[in-house]
């Protein structure tokens, strides 16, 4: 099959029997639901750009498995150039959507599981790597979107999976059969889960021998029997349900999406199993996936940051303060922070290396430094955006007020007239354009889009402490001490 178009992707979702619940009820036509459709539009952009000749080098690549042209989101990285192009592609998509485009987790899972299964087979003589190669070939040939599912609910985080009062706090095997396994549990905060054709499930922590039933990785279709999703709420999300509120939504076309993914005795055939009890390899999958995903944030968040900076500059222009030195300096600082994140993403990519399996892995230390900066810099970028935009960003009347014909003035002025009068922009700029940029910034800084930019920058791909643990592990303090000893003459 050739690369899918954006419309073909959307239509392919309609063929799935995915179970989706929101506000306590099942959503039958979730593809066209106003709260869900913006996130589908984001994923569709990954297909649309792959069809555009000007982006072909970034969006498409020759498969190392088949030699066919595939979407880069389904690719196994074959060089440091591939790793760098991944980051450039993610920045481009952030610029085009100003949101989370949701295919990164699957791409990062592909590369982590590919190299890990090779080393599991090397030790145990299992067939996980062949299973995975067959699976990823099917994904590439059909241009599928796959969610990478790692984060378990965890329950009492002071206890290992096998020590939990409820064993379902981590995804685990409840039955082993000759033809496969049966699994139960859930994955939280799953970006793009509803919009995916398939899922790859992975462990979320390192495990001991007692946890071997929880040391499991596998793939299954999103509409598998026993699997369902409960849609996650976002700030200001019900604005998307209001009529005549396209301005109030902020980013009306694009958006992110997270869900709780529940596995209720789901059967997984042998050919889709990639880890099944080999507990000492759980940590390897986690570490490699986390490294790839922390690299990703040096691209996607930078692209969204580009849009935030642009909107902030527009707000300053509409307010008539774009020439003020303080405003210029704030925009410079926002740009400096954003480009620093990009530098980190490019650096960890350029220092990548070949795994035993043949695909390329990023420099883990630099990837964790990248993500550590991402937990900080977008917050400062948003703070500066709010500073420049002003309080109107969060106090402006609704779109319906601006359009209201209710008479309130002594000379027949309507509520709409009054709003347009007192919230007018500088000369030559329409009040509506000022409305739009203010609501857009509200959405990016505080609303639904902030989930995929600000808050996800903190917790996505692991919270800040997770990166600090890896930085401590990868930082080679003993080697640095020896450097100092050698120069200082200490024996």
Q: Would you please indicate which residues are annotated as catalytic (active-site) residues?
A: 100, 104, 191, 258, 293, 297, 300, 456
CA distances from 157 to 152, 209, 281 (A): 11, 18, 20
Beta strands at 146-149 and 198-201: parallel, antiparallel or unpaired: parallel
Residue 34: other Cβ atoms inside 10 A:
15
Residues present in the chain in total: 491
- Other Cβ atoms within 10 Å of 54 Cβ, number: 8
Q: Does an H or E element contain 332, and which?
A: helix 325-350
**Beta-bridge mates of residue 187:** 261
Degrees (nearest 5) of the Cα angle 83, 98, 242? 145
Residue burial 331-340, b: 16+ Cβ < 10 Å; e: rest? beebeebbee
Those residues with Cβ within 8 angstroms of residue 24's Cβ, 6 or more apart along the chain or in another chain: none
Contact present, 141 and 231 (Cβ < 8 Å) = no
CB 443 within 8 A of CB 452: no
């Amino acid at each position: 099959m050739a690369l899918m178009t954006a419309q073909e992707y959307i239509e392919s979702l309609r063929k799935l029997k995915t179970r989706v619940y929101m506000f306590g009820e099942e959503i039958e036509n979730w593809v066209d639901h106003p709260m869900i459709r913006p996130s589908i539009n984001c994923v569709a952009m990954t297909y649309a750009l792959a069809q555009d000749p000007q982006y072909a080098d970034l969006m498409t690549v020759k498969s190392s498995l088949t030699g066919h042209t595939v979407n880069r989101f389904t690719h196994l990285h074959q060089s440091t150039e591939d790793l760098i192009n991944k980051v450039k592609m993610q920045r481009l998509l952030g610029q085009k959507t100003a949101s989370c485009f949701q295919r990164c987790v699957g791409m990062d899972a592909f590369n982590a599981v590919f190299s890990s299964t090779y080393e599991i087979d090397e030790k145990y003589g299992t067939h996980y790597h062949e299973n995975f190669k067959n699976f990823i070939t099917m994904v590439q040939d059909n241009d599928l979107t796959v969610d990478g599912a790692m984060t378990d609910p965890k329950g009492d985080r002071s206890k290992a999976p096998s020590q939990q009062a409820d064993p379902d706090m981590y995804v685990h095997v409840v039955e082993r059969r000759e033809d496969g396994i049966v699994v139960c549990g859930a994955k939280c905060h799953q970006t793009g889960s509803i919009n995916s054709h398939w899922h790859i499930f992975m462990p979320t922590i390192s495990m001991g021998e007692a946890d071997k039933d929880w040391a499991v990785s596998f793939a299954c279709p999103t509409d598998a029997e026993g699997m369902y999703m409960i849609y996650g709420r976002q700030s200001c999300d019900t604005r998307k349900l209001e009529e005549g509120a396209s301005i109030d939504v902020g980013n009306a076309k694009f958006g992110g999406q997270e869900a709780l993914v529940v596995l209720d005795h789901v059967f997984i055939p042998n050919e889709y199993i990639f880890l099944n009890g080999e507990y000492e390899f759980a940590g390897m999958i986690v570490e490699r996936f986390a490294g790839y995903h922390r690299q990703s944030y040096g691209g996607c968040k930078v692209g969204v940051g580009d849009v935030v900076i642009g909107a902030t500059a527009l707000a300053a222009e509409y307010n008539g303060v774009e020439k003020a030195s303080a405003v210029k300096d704030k925009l410079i600082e926002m740009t400096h922070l954003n480009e620093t994140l990009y530098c980190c993403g490019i650096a960890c990519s350029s220092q990548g290396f070949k795994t035993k399996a043949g695909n390329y892995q990023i420099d883990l230390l630099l990837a964790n430094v990248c993500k550590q900066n991402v937990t900080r810099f977008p917050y400062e970028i948003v703070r500066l955006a709010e500073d420049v935009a002003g309080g109107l960003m969060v106090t402006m009347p609704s779109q319906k007020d601006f359009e209201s014909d209710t008479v309130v003035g002594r000379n027949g002025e309507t509520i709409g007239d009054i709003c347009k009068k007192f919230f007018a922009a500088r000369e030559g700029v329409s009040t509506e354009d000022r409305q739009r940029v203010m609501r857009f910034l509200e959405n990016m800084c505080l609303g639904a889009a902030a989930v995929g930019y600000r808050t996800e920058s903190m917790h996505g791909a692991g919270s800040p402490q997770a990166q600090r643990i890896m930085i401590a592990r990868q930082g080679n303090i003993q080697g640095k001490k020896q450097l100092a000893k050698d120069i200082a003459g200490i024996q």
